[in-house]
Amino acid sequence: MKADRPRQIGARVQRFEDIRLLSGTARYIDDIRLPGMLNLTFVRAEMAHARILGIDSSALAELGYPTWLFTGKDTAGLSMKAHQDVPEMQYSEQPLLAGDRVRFVGEPVAVVLAEDAYKAEDAAETVLVDYDPLPVVGTMAQGRDNSLPPLFDGWTGNVIIERQMKGGDLDVARAAAAHTIRRTYRTQRQAGVPMEGRGVVARYDPADRTLTVWSSTQMPHLVRTYIAEELGLPESRIRVVAPDVGGGFGVKGQVYADEVLIAWLAMKTGRPVKWVEDRREHLIASIHARDHEHTLEAYVSADGMLLGLKADITVDNGAYSTYPFTSAGEPGMVGKVLPGPYRLPAYEATYRAVATNKCPIGTYRGVARPSAVFSQERLMDDIAAELKMDPFEFRLRNIVREFPYKNVLGFTYDAGSYAQSLEKMRDLLAPDIAEAAASKASTTKRIGVGFACFNEQTAHGTPDFTRRRVPIETGYIAARVTMAPDGEVTVDLGLQNHGQGLETTMAQVAADALGIDPAQVYVRHGDTLTTPYSVGTWGSRGGALGGGAVHLASMRIAEKLRAIAAHLLQARPDEIELAGGRAALRGNPGNSIEIRKLARMALRNVEQLPEGMIPGLEAEFSLDGPGDGTYSNAVHAAVVEIDIATGKTKLRRFVVVEDCGTMLNPLVVDGQVRGGVVQGIGSAMFEHFIYDAECQPLTTSFADYLMPLAPEIPDIEVHHIETPTPLTPLGAKGLGEGGAIGPAAAVANAVANALGVGVTSTPLTTNAVWKLCKHLREAG
């Protein structure tokens, strides 16, 4: 209802959840301890590809304390099934514990349980697995080589899926092109790596057949459904709780084999079972992400108009398909988003995932888009260079300007600020561009400016998942809002909060609709017992859809409060305004009643309600996303300073111009953007999971897997343009992932600009940049 002026939405409200997080009183998965609990340690595969000949657990009996051992024989028949329902896909299942074969280093082979975590680890070390090694499939090229034996019986080769997307007529584009620019771009294997790893605790109560599973997850309802279906339990008797979760970034937006396994073990042993991942396990066996190769061929007219784009996309998927986004998710996303924010008349993409003997690929903030935008925006700079055009000018000539815009694949872009963002960024960078140009005279130190322009499909709804035929199936978020007799409000939210500030932003949304203070709104989440079924927190849908659901549910309560107030004040409901804790006659604020008194009437003094009104102040709303989602947009820019002798690359400046529609809380928006950007800088410059030729992981600690530290990072400048979308109730678009999408492209373009070379891959480590400086060292 437009009549209610926003008062809290858009305010920089300090976060309510901070108090427990700052004081050390938050409760994460490792803080859950139950009487009689057993601690679990995994015995994990030490070889990337091998037959299991036998498991010798005879030493357990000599330890002098009780242990429990389970192997793949015990869990035979139980598995993770992540199938995209298309004929081109070769299906595989990941057993909860390996059967007769392991397919990546770190794959769970057995579990040992003991009454103390140290003892469980000791005991697991005594279990010996006899392996017969098999040849590994270790690279994309090997994955596409059908002469190598397949990873799964019954498969033909190791290409899991290969499909096409197309729109327009590429032959026409090719025939009309004055320039054809072909490049291959690569982005490395990385992961979200939250500071808290994963962990699961499960307890089964046979008396009432209830199973409780605590998991550090972003999607408790989906965990519940999978466990129910796989273990054949009534879902009504399963409760999944995500306690405080120490970061997710997509790594915890999957259902894992261990979640099902530990639930099963709690039933099997009759004891609560707990597993908390250690960092080595996290780095080798929770999901990885990215690992792409894209070959792009662009067809461009003599005057710099994009005529067509052909893309060939390969993702190194690792050993298994992950649930619920599947092996097709990552390459399919690249195919879907490569047209980007540009007018592109013709497009054709072939995308594939190949199986290798590495950790499975899953989602990580941005989901394929950091790689897609890296390729797209490196290509735009490479085309501009070939045409001797200014990179801003080239993009502005091709940028989408009219909205809604139906792109070459049929996706509709809602309102955005694409050209405006580019123009604003060009102004912000003017002094750096001048300085970079001046540095070109030097062969010892170079300044470079690079930027990346992108749009991002966010908060996509059920039709998007139906089209993809992935097991996630749907995209809605639900919220239930309840006002108690004292006027205080509870929001039970289907989202799960793991750093996004949802306990604050959702309170702001409810408070605005109800005319009360956000501090009066208690937001609960992450517990299937109290929250309505939802898909969880991922895909940049929290603010847009969670906020929308809270708003619409709250408005239903507001409507009832207005009806009660109108009855008491002898007015029409549409004359009542809720604000400042009071329901007042519009234009006559003296004529009012406290909202908490209305709440008491609605629930206790019901005799004062209008005749026929049903008591109660509770409303629930499930909000699906728009069919094509709502498109956020941004331009990211990096200014780098490169020492030619050493390759040392300093980030002097990083600037963001972003448009996520209505901002619910700018403090939180800035935090999400900056945090995402620094993860993206990690992708651009530091982070890389490396495997050797036998598929042994070489990056198994934080001493090898390097994430950005504070001294390497400049202040991230954030500028906002707000173009509300008509597609969500509050005009909000998705925001959580965008920060991570642009930096790899922006930094790479800055390095290319500084050195006058093409950059085709990340990470741009000091060593990688040093190699790119060779021509300048030789010239100097």
CB closer to other proteins, 31 vs 517 = 31
Closest CA to 202 of 252, 256, 267: 267
**Contact criterion met (CB below 8 Å) for 417 and 719:** no
What is the nearest approach in angstroms of other proteins to the Cβ of residue 741? 14
Token couple for 361: 């690929």
Q: Is 601 helix (H, G, I), strand (E, B) or coil?
A: helix
Query: What are the helix (H) ranges across 178-290?
Result: 220-231, 257-269, 279-285
Q: End-to-end CA distance of the chain, in Å?
A: 67
Q: Is 402 helix (H, G, I), strand (E, B) or coil?
A: coil
CB closer to other proteins, 30 vs 312 = 30
What is the nearest approach in angstroms of other proteins to the Cβ of residue 564? 36
**Contact criterion met (CB below 8 Å) for 15 and 520:** no
**Contact criterion met (CB below 8 Å) for 751 and 640:** yes
Q: Residue 667 CA to chain centroid, in angstroms? A: 20
Q: How many CB atoms lie within 10 A of CB 213?
A: 26
Q: Residue 213 CA to chain centroid, in angstroms? A: 23
Q: Is 240 helix (H, G, I), strand (E, B) or coil?
A: strand
CA dist 258 and 89 (Å) reads: 25
Closest CA to 3 of 509, 382, 555: 555
CB closer to other proteins, 151 vs 640 = 640
DSSP letter assigned to residue 24: T
CA dist 337 and 629 (Å) reads: 12
What is the nearest approach in angstroms of other proteins to the Cβ of residue 668? 7
CA dist 80 and 93 (Å) reads: 6
Contacts of 341 (CB under 8 A, 6+ apart): 399, 400, 413, 416, 418, 453, 454, 455, 633
What is the nearest approach in angstroms of other proteins to the Cβ of residue 499? 3
What is the nearest approach in angstroms of other proteins to the Cβ of residue 745? 18
Closest CA to 735 of 463, 538, 551: 538
Per CB under 8 A, residues contacting other proteins are: 14-15, 17-28, 30-31, 118, 192-196, 244-249, 278-279, 498-501, 667-668, 670-671, 674-679, 701-703, 707-711, 713, 715-716, 739
CB closer to other proteins, 188 vs 665 = 665
**Contact criterion met (CB below 8 Å) for 96 and 264:** yes
Q: Order of strands across the sheet with 108-114?
A: 68-71, 108-114, 38-44, 273-276, 199-205, 210-215, 238-241
Give the pairing of strands 618-623 and 630-643.
unpaired
Number of H helices, E strands in the chain: 20, 30
CB closer to other proteins, 62 vs 607 = 62
CB closer to other proteins, 118 vs 132 = 118
Closest CA to 201 of 127, 276, 146: 276
Query: Which H or E element spans position 201?
Result: strand 199-205
CB closer to other proteins, 416 vs 763 = 763
Q: Is 71 helix (H, G, I), strand (E, B) or coil?
A: strand
Query: What are the helix (H) ranges across 32-71?
Result: none
Closest CA to 542 of 575, 515, 577, 506: 506
What is the nearest approach in angstroms of other proteins to the Cβ of residue 281? 11
What is the nearest approach in angstroms of other proteins to the Cβ of residue 752? 24
What is the nearest approach in angstroms of other proteins to the Cβ of residue 333? 22
DSSP letter assigned to residue 72: T
CB closer to other proteins, 249 vs 323 = 249
What is the nearest approach in angstroms of other proteins to the Cβ of residue 649? 17
CB closer to other proteins, 8 vs 84 = 8
CB closer to other proteins, 464 vs 503 = 503
Q: Specify the amino acid at residue 543.
A: G
DSSP letter assigned to residue 699: -
Closest CA to 281 of 132, 124, 128, 127: 124
CB closer to other proteins, 332 vs 680 = 680
Q: Specify the amino acid at residue 513.
A: A
What is the nearest approach in angstroms of other proteins to the Cβ of residue 681? 8
What is the nearest approach in angstroms of other proteins to the Cβ of residue 679? 7
CB closer to other proteins, 124 vs 353 = 124
CB closer to other proteins, 666 vs 758 = 666
CB closer to other proteins, 27 vs 777 = 27
CA dist 345 and 406 (Å) reads: 11
CA dist 267 and 248 (Å) reads: 28
Closest CA to 452 of 406, 488, 418: 418
What is the nearest approach in angstroms of other proteins to the Cβ of residue 19? 5
What is the nearest approach in angstroms of other proteins to the Cβ of residue 670? 7
What is the nearest approach in angstroms of other proteins to the Cβ of residue 672? 8
CB closer to other proteins, 192 vs 626 = 192
CB closer to other proteins, 678 vs 732 = 678
CB closer to other proteins, 246 vs 391 = 246
What is the nearest approach in angstroms of other proteins to the Cβ of residue 251? 10
Q: Is 602 helix (H, G, I), strand (E, B) or coil?
A: helix
What is the nearest approach in angstroms of other proteins to the Cβ of residue 618? 30
Q: Is 136 helix (H, G, I), strand (E, B) or coil?
A: coil
Closest CA to 218 of 381, 29, 45, 88: 29
What is the nearest approach in angstroms of other proteins to the Cβ of residue 325? 21
